[in-house]
Amino acid sequence: MTHAPRAAGVPDVAGDRTVVGGNLSLPLFRALSGVLAGHPYLKVVVDRAEDSWHLLDTRVHPFHVDYIATRILGMRPDELDKDLDAFNASVYMAPDRRFLLGVLSLHSDEDTDGSERPFLVLETTEADTMHAALLEEFYHYVRTRVDGRLPLLLKPANHGQEHELASVSEARVPRILSQELFGNRIRTCLNPGVAEGRLRYFRSPEEYRAAAQPGWADIVAMSCLPDDIPRVAGFINTAPTTPLSHTNVLASGWGIPNAIVRDLDALVRREGLDGAWVRYRVCEDAVTLERLSSAPVLERPVWHQQRIRIDAPLLDEAPVMALHRLRRSDRDSYGTKAANLGELHHVLDSRTADLTAFYARPRPPRPDLLTHLALRLGEPGAPVERLQAAAAERVAGTVRAPEGVALPFRLHHLFLTSSAALQQGIGKLKMALELEALDVIDSLCLDLQRLMHSTPIPDEVARAVTGAVPGLLADGRRLVVRSSSNAEDLPGFSAAGIYDSVTTVRGEEQLMDAVRQVWASLLSPRSVRLRHEAGIVLDDTYMGVIIQEYVPAGLGGVLVTCNPTRREDFRNVYLNCTTGSPERVVDGRVLPHQYLYNTVEGGGRTVDVGSAGEDLPADTRTSLGELALAGRLLQSHFSAGDPDDALDIEWLMTAEGAFHLVQIRPYAR
């Protein structure tokens, strides 16, 4: 594809301030720049053939490729759209490319005298595959044309560029990593949204527990929000956390804004915001708190009137079942978690599922992304049928499904109905819920939970449980007992983190205690309140149980098949991990490693190295990229009717490098 270049000169679009050639000063930067992720930025194009560069007016030219094609090469927009992927490859991946594309962003740090010192950061797009020589050439071209008083650092856009730059000394190309640049960001979007409410700032967990419970019109700010927080108008974290924490999954499911605001204490003191009515805005580019002059007139939120329907549980003679024998249709007897794990076994064992639907969907101006999928699978030019087979093979070769058994709702029902005291306590709780006697609900729930722990399990139920796992009980192996309710993973009600799992079980006695604990978590004050708010009837709610052999984890984590802070981004999978079990990622005990993996053009980048303080080895990050691709492919099968519906997958990696998926659920968006 060749086109005669248009002569460089003054742009010919009215009001376009794009500059061709010349040097870049700070005033010119500010005149041309826009704002991205809270920082001023400017797009630049280096034309190697003309030995010139273009400083794009961000307002007029939001995309490098459009500018190059239409303004430099004289192409029509329809010509570009027709061969967009080939054109992108020519500017982002060709080793002998004519154009070098990047972004300059303006940042500041503190000088030795305490004053702010501005500096510029140069980076390419995340899909760019520049080799070391091109990266060095790009840096020096820009360096010689930028005001020498402004420090300039190169930021690798992906792990591949980090690897390339390892051979180049920092004296020749000064650089900064993404986690170094943004690790101390003052304000960070976790879940976008806008809310008006009363700001309640708690400086310690003790202060939170001693205060009146937050209400639906409150915006709650804490260093670490508790998992049992009630439904409110908005969340604010005053310390770093991850978008995949339980509380942010709740924020996403509830559709409320959530952000990290590390300067909140100073903001509250300066503007007297604690207890004040505020307008709270969270988006990718900015997080703001604006004091309102008076209390707004707030209508009771829609969710107070919503009624989420769940399918009636099947309490018939469903047996204890091996996970690999379950399918998604068994959720009415065993719960969604167990049914999804059974479905995962089916996908991995039969390899008949079509895992290409996400890529087959039109992404205008592209008819689909199948060409990109073919490259990811190492099958360029393969027909669709071959891609479907290759996708199934890739997933089966990357992840494993857990072995174990599922206890049906029927056993939970038999336990509850075996005790007159339990039936009486449940009757009192139902009456309190019907009468909206919310002041007694917590005590009734706690009494019921204590009673469940002391009530003997009927012999029929105990034999069914222990008889299902005799081999595991015989040699004292460690077991994991997980919840699998019919009141979770529902549209509008994710229930993330509200039911118990027990991961340290050995022997028959501990197993029965763990099963009782999981059953009892269905009646915790928090789970009962949240279900009641959603209109889920107590009579229809039952708990299944998953019993698995414990698998030691070198790494454990969670991935979601989307970018949770930028919903329009269809390319990336967001992955968190830390040493040990996946639970450590979501419960806030540690700040995990955080990555974005591009499942269209390929490549990955580090967002945060978390509490570890250093990144994972390159080979581990490469393996995590394979896991991210497997998660994207599974999305095509598990999403409910829409291949763009994201998945939330908990996983662990053994010391041998094998990935085990321990949970698959819809991601609340």
| pLDDT higher than 70, residue 591 | yes
Question: Which phi and psi angles does 87 have, rounded to 5°?
Answer: -65, -45
| pLDDT higher than 60, residue 580 | yes
Pairing, β 218-222 against β 659-666? unpaired
Mean pLDDT within 510-532: 95
Q: pTM for this structure?
A: 0.91
| pLDDT higher than 90, residue 568 | no
Mean pLDDT within 520-530: 94
Q: Please choose, from the candidates 486, 515, 478, the residue with its C-alpha nearest in 3D space to the C-alpha of residue 500.
A: 515
| pLDDT higher than 70, residue 426 | yes
How many other CB atoms are found less than 10 A from the CB of residue 640? 9
pLDDT digits (tens, 9 = 90+) for 593-625: 999 999 999 999 999 999 899 999 999 999 999
Mean pLDDT within 565-585: 88
How many other CB atoms are found less than 10 A from the CB of residue 270? 9
Q: Please choose, from the candidates 119, 105, 116, 96, the residue with its C-alpha nearest in 3D space to the C-alpha of residue 44.
A: 105
Residue 543 — left, alpha, or beta (φ > 0 → left; ψ -120 to 50 → alpha)?
A: beta
| pLDDT higher than 90, residue 185 | no
What is the predicted pLDDT for the residue at 304?
56
Separation between Cα atoms, residue 42 and residue 29, nearest integer Å: 7
Sheet with 287-291, strands from edge to edge, namely 187-191, 258-261, 234-237, 218-222, 193-201, 277-282, 287-291
Q: Which tokens belong to 301?
A: 């939120």
Mean pLDDT within 41-62: 95
pLDDT digits (tens, 9 = 90+) for 144-179: 999 999 999 999 999 999 999 999 999 999 999 988
Tell me what percent of the residues of the chain surpass a pLDDT of 70.
96
Separation between Cα atoms, residue 409 and residue 422, nearest integer Å: 17
Strand partners, 595: 575, 606
Q: Please choose, from the candidates 340, 470, 464, 459, the residue with its C-alpha nearest in 3D space to the C-alpha of residue 407.
A: 464
| pLDDT higher than 90, residue 260 | yes
Question: Which phi and psi angles does 430 have, rounded to 5°?
Answer: -60, -45
pLDDT digits (tens, 9 = 90+) for 261-311: 999 999 999 999 999 999 999 988 889 999 999 888 877 665 555 678 888
What is the predicted pLDDT for the residue at 324?
96
What is the predicted pLDDT for the residue at 110?
72
Mean pLDDT within 359-372: 94
What is the predicted pLDDT for the residue at 289?
96
Domains and CATH numbers, the chain: 19-176 (no CATH), 187-304 (3.50.30.10), 405-549 (3.30.1490.20), 552-666 (3.30.470.20)
